[in-house]
Amino acid sequence: MSGPPDYDHPDVVLCPGGPMLIRGAKTVQDADGRVHASVRPVVALCRCTRSARLPFCDGTHKLLPVDDRP
């Protein structure tokens, strides 16, 4: 084998109590239907809905009580 397989879809990882990491996405569509371009190899999307940069994570989840985290 020469390395990891090359898929036509992005990889998704849910971080416990934190963001959703998307690897390989060229665009991200938010809840309002707006499309955001992605230039990074990995994008962190907010799951707590309290980020000042929605749909992207800004680390606000770290300030929330553990019971309020996703």
- 4 inside domain: no
Distances (CA, A) of 44 to 1, 5, 53, 54: 30, 22, 11, 10
pLDDT in tens, 13-60: 999 999 999 999 999 999 899 999 998 999 999 999 999 999 999 999
Our count of domains for the chain comes to 1
Distances (CA, A) of 55 to 10, 20, 29, 31, 42: 17, 10, 8, 8, 14
Q: Which CATH number goes with the domain that contains 52? A: 3.40.5
Q: Tell whether pTM > 0.85.
A: no
> Which domain range does residue 58 map to?
11-65
- Inform me whether the pLDDT recorded for 1 exceeds 60: no
